[in-house]
Chain A
Amino acid sequence: ISPAELASTPTEEPNGSGHLMDFLDEPFPDVGTYEDFHTIDWLREKSRDTDRHRKITSKSKESLWELIKSLLDAWSGWVVMLLIGLLSGTLAGVIDLAVDWMTDLKEGVCLTAFWYSHEQCCWTSNETTFDDRDKCPQWQKWAELMTGHAEGAGAYVLNYLLYVMWALLFSFLAVSLVRVFAPYACGSGIPEIKTILSGFIIRGYLGKWTLLIKTVTLVLAVSSGLSLGKEGPLVHVACCCGNLFCSLFSKYSKNEGKRREVLSAAAAAGVSVAFGAPIGGVLFSLEEVSYYFPLKTLWRSFFAALVAAFTLRAINPFGNSRLVLFYVEYHTPWYMAELVPFILLGVFGGLWGTLFIRANIAWCRRRKTTLLGKYPVLEVIAVTGITAVLAFPNPYTRRSTSELISELFNDCGALESSQLCDYVNNPNMSRPVDDIPDRPAGPGVYNALWQLALALVFKIVITIFTFGMKIPSGLFIPSMAVGAIAGRIVGIAVEQMAYHHHDWLIFKNWCRPGADCVTPGLYAMVGAAACLGEPRRPQKRSSPLLRQSRPEKRSRKKGLNGTSREESTPPTLATDERGPRGKAPLWAFLTQDPTRVEELEALIKDTDYKGFRVVISRESERFMGFVQGRDLPLAIRKSPFKQDGVVSSSVVYFTEDAPLLPPTNPQPLKLRRILNLSPFTVTDHTPMETVVDIFRKLGLRQCLVTRSGRLLGIITKKDVLRHMAQMMNQDPESIMFN
């Protein structure tokens, strides 16, 4: 962004009226803020926070009021965590209830109270039977409601038609809302949040409109029957809540580094409500999402995750005081020989992950480059239509994916009557409920097996095309579904093999006839876990814009072993011009000698440098400090409001004391506060590995290069990334910059 654009930032004329409505005015960017799509300066934020804390601590000794203020400041972190937990839990509860209801709306409606889902509608009825636990006269399918017939071909076709129509309506609403109000609400959100947490600025990504639209359209997208989940978007929603509450306290709203601590904790709260696992949330935030995670953040994340989980529990969306749909208990131990099918499931998980990543990236590239990307609304409608048309006939894909996974995890005791549990029971069996021995499969199980196989293929294929569309979508649940289906099929196969061939060598020691041996539900869980781990490497599918902000991820995998000492000189010489490569390497510098405001403004207008070095004088060129390119015009423009009498011909000085000027001159402008007197420097003999290490560990954006005490040039984060790309034989020009 050139300074010319900065100059066009509208400034409100100071008007005396309407102070109440000042929040509607455009906030004037402050000195020390960052531009959109740039990285923050971690060191500057950290030192600012330390300064602020020191000031508060020293002032707290003065009076009781100051002491109270310092206590409030210390407690503000915990207050923010509490608020984040409350709001995230509430929103997650609302989303769960609404998804429950709207998913059932595709099939029918509750006549007594339209806001009840199928299960809730039949909650009190006494007409439910053992075989058909959900059937009750209060809830009717659409065909039954409209025509009066419940069975028959006509009813089936009508139900089919209405199912597809509802699905199309929901997805159309979702994509329209996203397109009109908050385009940043599409996708999962986790890769972008990782980028933001590592120091990148994406304005509006965690805004209020994004929060609202993401919540509303997530419900619509999940209810439309598409093969996506809501866990990833819940993390985005929680981080939006975190950003929202940060603006209440200046400690967090003015400091980007502290804000990211809060966002890390908010991400933990998001995963906590998605899975009902507070500790899982904290671990997710620690391992996957965060860049800077001090110990204090660990405790705060845990607190936020707990509060969120408790809030969700209070809303009680599932009607029986559980937090998650997948609550299972297995009573039979597993045997060492079962490791073989488990390893097979792991291999399946890896294969599926590879297939999914490659296919999805290819499809996303197709979307970017061809005509497909020009019609996002049509694309969503088409994919929803295909999904609904193919999903309705198969009872395992017709229902919501979470219910499918829950059923697959379920162990088949005597109390189940679904098709999957249609085993041939021994009528004289007298064992208690949990310890049912292995039984031969009935026809229902074989029926279920081929339906599940079809469902597996369908889910694998359709998820590739679903992920990446312009609606909120998560990847956790579809991955788990694929793994659970595969696991259950393998589990049933092993179970039947153990029953029918119990005299084989491998089964002889392990499975005794008449005892419970194999639990297919456990295989489903192992499969789900195997498939969940693989596809979540989204950095690969993110655009280069995101790659550039995480240099540490790359270099950890491939060390810079290739560089030798000889390479230490070229990297710095090649980068002594800032701005786009190939431009004339004019060094612009400001001197400590007095210059005028209008000269500075001309300098800013003519050039688009991102930074200026300040030297003692043009002759000696002894280096004094560094000024960020963005701060200079802001400081000049802001000054007329602060110091009266500063005009274009005013003198600008960087020293501590104003230069001696005749009294007729206008008020001089002191710009020392934007001068960084201690920028990081390396010499041109520093090996490149050390330079990369410094950038990675300190989170620098630029580093000055000196030779023999004289300033030689500057090396920026982008230059380091380009160098690393060259090391890995990638195209360095693909690193984008504004």
Chain B
Amino acid sequence: MYTCIHVSLKNAKSLICDLLQNSEDIRCKCICPPYRDIEGQIYKQNVSLKDCNCLHVVEPMPVDGKDVEAYCLRCECKFEERSSATIKVTIIMYLSILGLLLLYMVYLTLLEPMLKRRLFGHSQLIQSDDDVGDQQPFANAHNVLSHSHSRPNMLNKVEHAQQRWRRQVQEQRKSVFDRHVVLS
């Protein structure tokens, strides 16, 4: 059970209330099989664990009087709870990470070669032998960048680290995808 945090701003209060307090996150689910001429039914209610039995949840009771006990014996009641906030946060976080990765992938594969080509011109991009079978001109970009190496400031360091990472990935890609030595 979560209590609602009282915040002064009305909008923020309702938002936090929605996020934290969700009485719909618990339920008691009773499954009752067919009995005589009554067909099978499922009953759900937001009750706590102590009230999770046939008498409290099955409403309206389809049988009356003496049959209630026989009917209830066949029913199975289970208490379940979930955390809708966790589900919401997890899915949204996952989608945002996936989106970021996709954007970065699009940038690496499509935009960056285009930008580099426009900045440095065609003449400086020499295809090396290593790039046969690999469409991304990673190695060239490293050579091109080293021409413009002025002094070791942070941007250049990030660039160098990125180039190093790309070379590692290229090596991995060669051994896994091209030569099939690792991971068959």
- Which A residues fall within an 8 A CB radius of B? 13, 15, 17-18, 21, 24-26, 93-94, 97-98, 101, 113, 115-116, 120, 123-126, 128-131, 133, 173, 176-177, 179-184, 186-187, 192, 202-204, 209, 212-213, 216, 219-220, 315-316, 319-321, 364, 367-368, 373-374, 376, 414-415, 417, 425, 427, 430, 432-433, 468, 470, 541-543, 545-546, 736
Find the residue from A124, A183, A414, A542 having the highest chain B CB count within 10 A: A183
Q: Are A130 and B41 in contact (CB under 8 A)?
A: yes
Contact B184–A180 (Cβ < 8 Å): no
Residue from A98, A176, A183, A427 within 8 A of B176 (CB atoms):
A183
| 20 A-B pairs in the complex with CB atoms less than 8 angstroms apart | A17-B152, A18-B154, A25-B161, A26-B164, A101-B91, A123-B82, A130-B31, A133-B42, A184-B176, A184-B183, A187-B184, A202-B182, A212-B101, A216-B98, A316-B82, A320-B81, A415-B76, A433-B33, A470-B177, A545-B182
Min Cβ gap B59→A in Å is: 11
Complex interface: chain A residues within 8 A of B182 (CB): 184, 192, 202, 543, 545-546
Q: Which residues from chain A contact B88 at a C-beta distance below 8 Å? A: 113, 115
Give me 10 other A-B pairs in contact (C-beta within 8 A), A124-B44, A316-B81, A368-B180 excluded: A113-B84, A115-B92, A130-B32, A179-B177, A203-B168, A216-B101, A315-B90, A320-B78, A425-B34, A543-B180
A417–B91 CB distance below 8 A: no
- A577 to B93 Cα, complex, angstroms: 57
Chain B, range 161-179, C-beta contacts under 8 Å to A:
161, 164-165, 168-169, 172-173, 175-177
Q: Is the CB of A130 within 8 A of B82?
A: no
A184 in contact with B172 given A24-B158, A130-B31, A432-B73 (CB within 8 Å): yes
**Contact at A315–B86, with CB atoms within 8 Å?**
yes
Chain B binding site: helix, strand, loop or mixed by DSSP?
Answer: helix
A187 neighbours in B (Cβ, 8 Å)? 183-184
**What CA separation (Å) do A115 and B168 show in the bound complex?**
36
Complex interface: chain A residues within 8 A of B82 (CB): 120, 123, 316, 319-320
The answer on a CB contact under 8 Å between B101 and A177 is: yes
Most buried by A among B24, B90, B102: B90
What CA separation (Å) do A176 and B135 show in the bound complex? 13
Smallest Cβ-Cβ distance to B173: which chain A residue: A183
Which residue of B is nearest A116, CB measured?
B87
4 nearest A-B pairs in the assembled complex, by CB-CB distance: A130-B40, A115-B91, A319-B82, A414-B33
> Is the CB of B6 closer than 8 A to any CB of chain A?
no
User: What separation, in Å, do the CA atoms of A542 and B184 have in the docked complex?
Assistant: 6
B96-152 residues with Cβ-Cβ distance < 8 A to A are: 97-98, 101-102, 105, 108-109, 133, 152
Query: Is A364's CB under 8 angstroms from B76's CB?
Result: no
Q: Which residue of chain B has its CB nearest to the CB of A431? A: B74
Q: How far is the CA of A18 from the CA of B161 in the complex (A)?
A: 14
Q: Are A470 and B92 in contact (CB under 8 A)?
A: no
Those of B51-107 within 8 Å (CB) of chain A: 70, 73-74, 76, 78, 80-84, 86-88, 90-94, 97-98, 101-102, 105
Q: Does B21 contact A (CB under 8 A)?
A: no
Q: How far is the CB of B1 from chain A (nearest CB, A)?
A: 15
Residues of chain B with a CB closer than 8 A to A319's CB = 80-82
The distance in angstroms between the C-alpha atoms of A376 and B46, with both chains bound, is: 50
Residues of A within 8 A of B176 (CB): 183-184, 186, 470
B15: interface (CB < 8 Å): no
Q: How far is the CA of A214 from the CA of B74 in the complex (A)?
A: 46
B169 touches A181 (CB 8 A): yes
Query: What CA separation (Å) do A128 and B27 show in the bound complex?
Result: 14
Do A176 and B105 touch (CB < 8 A)?
Answer: yes
- A18 near B152 with CB under 8 A, answer yes
Q: Is the CB of A543 within 8 A of B181?
A: yes
Residues of B within 8 A of A315 (CB): 83, 86, 90
**Taking CB as reference atom, which chain A residue is nearest B161?**
A24
User: In the complex, how many angstroms separate the beta carbon of A189 from the nearest chain B beta carbon?
Assistant: 9
Q: How far is the CA of A124 from the CA of B86 in the complex (A)?
A: 17
Which residues of chain A have C-beta atoms less than 8 A from B168's C-beta? 203-204
**Bound: A470/B94 CA distance, A:** 22
A542 to B180, CA, bound (A): 11
List B contacts of A203 (CB < 8 A): 168
Q: How far is the CB of A524 from chain B (nearest CB, A)?
A: 21
Q: Could you say which residues of chain A place their CB within 8 Å of the CB of B90?
A: 93-94, 97-98, 315
Contact pick for B108, options A17, A180, A468, A546, CB 8 Å? A180
A126 and B78 in contact, given A204-B168, A204-B172 (Cβ under 8 angstroms): no
Cα distance A427–B37 when bound, in Å? 9
**A176 / chain B contacts, CB cutoff of 8 Å:** 105
B157 contacts chain A at the CB level, 8 A cutoff: yes
> Which A residues are CB-close (under 8 A) to B157?
18, 21, 24-25
Which one of B42, B91, B102, B169 contacts A128 once the chains associate, using CB atoms below 8 Å? B42
* Smallest beta-carbon distance B181→chain A, Å: 6
Q: Tell me the bound Cα distance from A204 to B158 in angstroms.
A: 19
Whether B152 and A15, one on each chain, are in contact in the complex, defined by CB atoms closer than 8 angstroms, is yes
Q: Do A186 and B183 contact each other (CB < 8 Å), given the known contacts A113-B88, A130-B31? A: yes
Contacts of A93 in B (CB 8 A): 90
| Interfacial chain A residues near B36, Cβ < 8 Å | 427
Smallest beta-carbon distance A525→chain B, Å: 22
Say how far B91's CB is from chain A's closest CB, in angstroms.
4
Q: Is the CB of B81 within 8 A of A321?
A: yes
Please indicate the chain B residues that have their CB under 8 angstroms from the CB of A470 in the complex: 176-177
Q: A316 near B86 (CB under 8 angstroms)?
A: yes
Cβ contact within 8 Å between A433 and B105: no
A565 and B76 alpha carbons, distance in the complex (Å)? 74
Q: Is the CB of A320 within 8 A of B80?
A: yes
Which residues from chain A contact B105 at a C-beta distance below 8 Å?
176-177, 180-181
* A94 / chain B contacts, CB cutoff of 8 Å: 90, 93-94
A373 to B176, CA, bound (A): 10
Given contacts A183-B177, A316-B82, A433-B76, contact A417 B184 (CB under 8 A): no
Query: In the complex, what's the smallest C-beta–C-beta distance from A197 to chain B, in angstroms?
Result: 16
Instruction: Choose among B101, B133, B165, B183 the residue with the greatest number of A CB atoms under 10 Å from its CB.
Output: B183
With both beta carbons as reference points, the residue of chain B lying nearest to A101 in the complex is identified as: B91
- In angstroms, Cα B44 to Cα A125, docked, is 8
Kindly list chain B residues whose C-beta atoms are within 8 Å of the C-beta of A126: 44
Residue in chain A with minimal CB distance to B98: A216
Q: In the complex, are the beta carbons of A98 and B94 less than 8 A apart?
A: yes
B158 touching A433, Cβ below 8 Å: no
